[in-house]
Structure 1
């Protein structure tokens, strides 16, 4: 167990008071730490951060066209930080090319990416209470934004696809002969979206009644993202009018942008893309928030270079140094995009696979090594723990 860290000059007590805060503080001290961060996030705000990190509009939209060509509608429907901001920059580029003859090059897209990173740094330098409100707003933006996109596009599409096309059509434009391998490639879209739910744990030190609020945040985020995301995919797939011109070779570069343009016209398409851009900004901000807490936690244990600086808190008890460390790291991570878009695809793939492995390890340890010795907390799955762990491991693998 890690030794207790010294409390930063910012103070050792959170802004909350009462028995729940005391319980959270005691649990944290049992783990070897003192309460240093501001514990002011509600359970809903914890869910908001987690749901924003999953972000169906940020996760599903960039890879929608690729997934449709790796198994077709059947795979998409039935399977249903740096990479997110680059995706947002690409959507902005498609918006520009849609409304004018100007086609932004990779340098312009990268410049947009850097501006977005800086905005995320500014937002996450605010207090955790304000970030909680920001992510609460993100929840409603995602839910109502998705509903708006689905209703508007379906209503304005003159020739919709049949249910047979949406639920049973198989497409393989990957060049691979193995249907199973192609199907697994199509899974990446859903896997990319159903990630980031560990953010609830990263924000636990700042969440009130974290022992139950954190786990519920994970469950609520996954269930909500699954339902809303599936509705979004079904609606968009019904709205495909020409698979080749909209999915395989979209003129504006992004499949969904092409669907919006063909179905709704320029002005409405721009509005819908702005809704997606807003969701992507919320997602990137939430990812920055959660990852900064990981940097803070590692630095507190002396596991990173410059740990003494990175785990410092400001007067509002926020790890601002860790926030800007993340921004700088994401800037470096995005540099290869200038020379090759393949680098971006590699970032997305590595992010998806690496994060999934990080989920798999503790699950396997729980169901194999600690099956009979694990001490459950206030929130647990009881007798369903092992079956759920096995199913989760199978999905990740």
Structure 2
């Protein structure tokens, strides 16, 4: 490839060349190391704050649901990570999920499936931000409730105001700390590890005279739902499914990662593996140290079962300290998920799929070659989705499942497309699971269908009312149905899938021929389109075959 001063400024030649093979010019600065790529996923997962936010899903199944539910579900999630690591190593780009979908799908399915995956992934990531910040609001308020001995009773309006302040604070930090965002992921990772260590030490000491035995921890079952006991155990999987649900952030940050073909799979599998092992440890400790009166934990006046568990172990002051550390760590999670969501939104805008794409696809050089407009676009939509807090707790809890269902579909479709249509097209990267690749992908698809079904079930039981209804099925079907309706009514006329933004003058004859060969094999590949420096004007670039 001919020398491009812009590429040399933003990335090493190997990374820029890899991106060029996928059709994109280097626009973001590659500042994330391999460990920092892992760090952004692990920081978003925010292991202990996420466990605390989702403990109401696993507690009804008792210690068996908490401990073994975590272990088994995390194992399946690791299998999904293996399938995604194969793809991420081979084709690392910020819009990876919908890019892979378009690349592997059959001609007639390329554009609609790619469009659907892009919207589902975008909304899923923004839903993840909403659920994290809603969890933050509940944790912060629980500290106030503890400090006033239950005299303070928050309204839905107060919860939303705290949520709103949290979301806006993230926007400010991501805007002005963009140049050191990679380094911050290491800080966030260390903060999460220290909180885990503190909890694993403090709880057993505080409950040393009242700890539960091994038979209780590993063998005690319960059922505080209207579902059969077996299904209640599966619903406990929602805790790890929601917690270990940010590993695709490694894909979205890939155009800012050094040596992306190895950093992306390392980040995906490393973050899942850490949460699998450390989360299993945390669940054992919590089960050992919590009160056996699970109903009391679920109905605690503090609003958070974890707050009651801390309170029982270390008293009022200790609980305030631990919950403060917990919500501060949860706040750090939100910063990282804003970064991931904005990169997906920017990539989808770069390909012209989101409303006002020419506006959101611009890069801010002043703030370190980052998609600043996409950041604030995600923040604005988060504030709107967060209005669910004003309806009822059941509606607000849909924010958790929205992230699960939206992202699950976005992970499922490209993996399935590779299995059904793309086996011959797949060219492995440095990380590859070899002959196990297809079986792994099939198991991953089965699990993703099952976990999406879980996310849409009412957790309290089959008998629902407006307060206990799980609105995930309504919200996600509206997103998916709306995306497909938008595509078939209007977008099919202009959406051609991922666009080629690389300047043809920068391509060698060999690269031009490779693109020509790809178009010969797959006639449905979109025309190669070059944007000007502002993303406003476009022209079709033809390649002679």
**Match for residue 314 of structure 2?**
264
Q: CA deviation at 1:345?
A: 1.4
Q: Deviations over 1:221-254 (max 9, x none)?
A: 0001111111111111111124246423212111
Q: CA deviation at 1:15?
A: 4.5
Q: CA deviation at 1:392?
A: 2.0
Please give the alpha-carbon distance, in whole angstroms, between the structure 1 residues aligned to 2:384 and 2:426: 40
Q: Deviations over 1:309-344 (max 9, x none)?
A: 101111221111000101100000010211211111
**Match for residue 31 of structure 1?**
22
Q: CA deviation at 1:354?
A: 2.1
Q: How does 1:29-108 map to 2 (within 5 A)?
A: 29-69=20-60, 71-80=61-70, 81-100=129-148, 101-108=151-158
TM-score by length of 1: 0.92
TM-score by length of 2: 0.68
Please give the alpha-carbon distance, in whole angstroms, between the structure 1 residues aligned to 2:62 and 2:246: 25
Unaligned runs of 5+ in 1: 1-6
Moved more, 213-222 or 245-254: 245-254
Q: CA deviation at 1:363?
A: 1.6
**Match for residue 219 of structure 2?**
168
Q: CA deviation at 1:302?
A: 0.8
Which of 205, 208, 212 is the equivalent residue of 2:262?
212
Which of 4, 7, 12 is the equivalent residue of 1:13?
7
**Match for residue 4 of structure 1?**
none
Q: Does the Cα contact within 8 Å between 2:59 and 2:294 map onto a contact in 1?
A: no
> 2:241 aligned with 1:191, yes or no?
yes
Q: Does the Cα contact within 8 Å between 1:14 and 1:40 map onto a contact in 2?
A: no
Q: How does 1:292-307 map to 2 (within 5 A)?
A: 292-307=342-357
In structure 2, the residue corresponding to 1:265 is in which secondary structure? helix
- Higher-Rg structure is 2
Which of 376, 388, 398 is the equivalent residue of 1:324?
376
> 2:444 aligned with 1:392, yes or no?
yes
Unaligned runs of 5+ in 2: 71-128, 450-545
Please give the alpha-carbon distance, in whole angstroms, between the structure 2 residues aligned to 1:275 and 1:389: 38
In structure 1, the residue corresponding to 2:237 is in which secondary structure? helix
Q: Deviations over 1:93-114 (max 9, x none)?
A: 1110000122222211111111
Q: CA deviation at 1:288?
A: 0.7
Q: CA deviation at 1:12?
A: 3.4
Please give the alpha-carbon distance, in whole angstroms, between the structure 2 residues aligned to 1:274 and 1:14: 44
**Against the structure 1 CA distance between its residues 129 and 213, is the aligned structure 2 distance closer, same or farther, given a 3 Å change threshold?**
farther
> 2:417 aligned with 1:365, yes or no?
yes
In structure 2, the residue corresponding to 1:236 is in which secondary structure? helix
Q: CA deviation at 1:213?
A: 0.6
**Match for residue 283 of structure 2?**
233
Q: CA deviation at 1:291?
A: 0.3
In structure 1, the residue corresponding to 2:132 is in which secondary structure? helix
Q: CA deviation at 1:120?
A: 0.7
Q: CA deviation at 1:289?
A: 0.4
Please give the alpha-carbon distance, in whole angstroms, between the structure 2 residues aligned to 1:42 and 1:212: 10
Please give the alpha-carbon distance, in whole angstroms, between the structure 2 residues aligned to 1:116 and 1:23: 39
Q: CA RMSD in A?
A: 1.7
Please give the alpha-carbon distance, in whole angstroms, between the structure 1 residues aligned to 2:315 and 2:141: 18
Q: Does the Cα contact within 8 Å between 2:224 and 2:295 map onto a contact in 1?
A: no
In structure 2, the residue corresponding to 1:102 is in which secondary structure? coil
Q: Does the Cα contact within 8 Å between 1:14 and 1:37 map onto a contact in 2?
A: no
Q: Does the Cα contact within 8 Å between 1:240 and 1:246 map onto a contact in 2?
A: no
